[in-house]
Structure 1
Amino acid sequence: MTLEELQYPIGKAHIPANISKKNIENWISDIERFPHELEYLVRELSDNQLDTPYRENGWTIRQVIHHCYDSHHNSYTRFKWALTENNPVIKVYYEELWADLDDSKNGPILLTIDALKGLHAKWVYFLRGLSDKDLEKTFIHPSGNEAISLKKNIGIYGWHCQHHYAHIAQLMIRKGWK
């Protein structure tokens, strides 16, 4: 596999210019299922397996799992900012540095999977209650200075769930663990 295939096992996110209600429903469904599918995928992995990088110089499975919580928690907050402020510039978090902290490198994954279940249940409830007008609201990501609509961000995070699930699942297949 090429480095790009290892980095982007399902390809890069492709969010359509015209986002339909069906797109949004599918993405929310992806977000809803993710913690449970992730738990099922990794339930029998040993600590040694959890500490295996999904690619050379990549994060370990453990770090990927903790990253998903960190990223999704930040995203949930960004939704709240977009709905309570006028086109806010969001705060960037340095995911590489967060992934290098002790809780991400060594922490038990079950704590994070349980946290993901709670976060995603609340997030999905929240997302399903958004109006069409709400979905048009935006925030500014300082790295690109582009306004990102909430409906686009739902697509980004539906993809994000599948993207990191594929990192783990493909490593497990390559290693013969699955």
Structure 2
Amino acid sequence: MNLQYPIGKFECPKKITKEHIVNWIKDIEELPNKIEELVVDFTEEQLETPYRPGGWTARQVVHHIHDSHHNGYIRFKWALTEDMPVIKAYYEDRWAELFDTKSAPIELSLDLIKALHAKWVYFLKGLSSEDLEKSFIHPEGDVEISLAEDIGIYAWHSNHHLAHLQIVANKAI
């Protein structure tokens, strides 16, 4: 198994259908409960266990999910209120090394993920077909990303990091 990409890398379909959107939103909606059910009984040792050699600890992964998805939600808002904005990228590897990401109780991010995803999913379910076609520019590679594609990216991102946490959970078995 590729521990860095246990579910593989995101591959966007050439034609994104309504069914894709519905399924991706469902993945985003279900993530908070799936994470909480998985990590609720993690010991401190498990929280400090990296999912792969050189990878983040389970604690860092949980905090990263909040940081990333918080940024993602804002990107959607920018794309709907500005004309193809260039979004602000961030150094996720540096954020993962900050003291709060390395030491804060995961409940802080779990609570934020629950609230964020509830609002984000409500927002996503209200997007029109025209809204889904709106785009932003990601400065890394100067890539245009539609909101439809970005829903898929965040659904993948949700399952990608859930798989990392499952690796840590399985190490304890």
TM-score normalised by structure 1 residue count: 0.95
Q: Distance in 1 between matches of 2:67 and 2:141?
A: 21
Aligned pairs for 1:80-91 within 5 A: 80-91=77-88
User: 1:152: which partner in 2?
Assistant: 149
Q: Please name the residue that 1:163 is paired with.
A: 160
Q: 1:77-116 residue pairs with structure 2 within 5 A? A: 77-116=74-113
1:61 shift after superposition: 0.2
Misfit runs of 4+, over 3 Å: none
Q: Give the 5 Å matches for 1:119-134.
A: 119-134=116-131
- AA of the residue aligned to 1:33: E
Taking the aligned partners of 2:143 and 2:70, their CA distance within structure 1 comes to: 21
Give distance in 2, aligned partners of 1:27 and 1:106: 31
Q: What is the CA distance between 1:144 and its match in structure 2?
A: 1.4
What does residue 172 of structure 2 align with? 176
> Match for residue 45 of structure 1?
42
Structure 2: how far apart are the matches of 1:115 and 1:64?
14
Task: Count how many residue pairs are aligned between Structure 1 and Structure 2.
Answer: 173
Stretches of structure 1 that go unaligned for 5 or more consecutive residues are: none
What is the Cα deviation at residue 170 of structure 1?
2.0
User: In the aligned structure 2, how far is the partner of 1:75 from the partner of 1:144?
Assistant: 17
CA drift of 1:35 comes to 0.6
Quick one: distance in 2 between partners of 1:52 and 1:70? 20
For structure 2, the residue ranges without an aligned partner over 5 or more in a row are none
Following superposition, the deviation at residue 48 of structure 1 comes to: 1.3
| Secondary structure of residue in 1 paired with 2:141 | coil
Measure, in 1, the Cα distance between the counterparts of 2:95 and 2:132.
Answer: 29
Query: Structure 1 residue 15: deviation in Å?
Result: 1.2
Alpha carbon RMSD of aligned pairs, Å? 0.7
Q: Give the structure-2-normalised TM-score.
A: 0.98
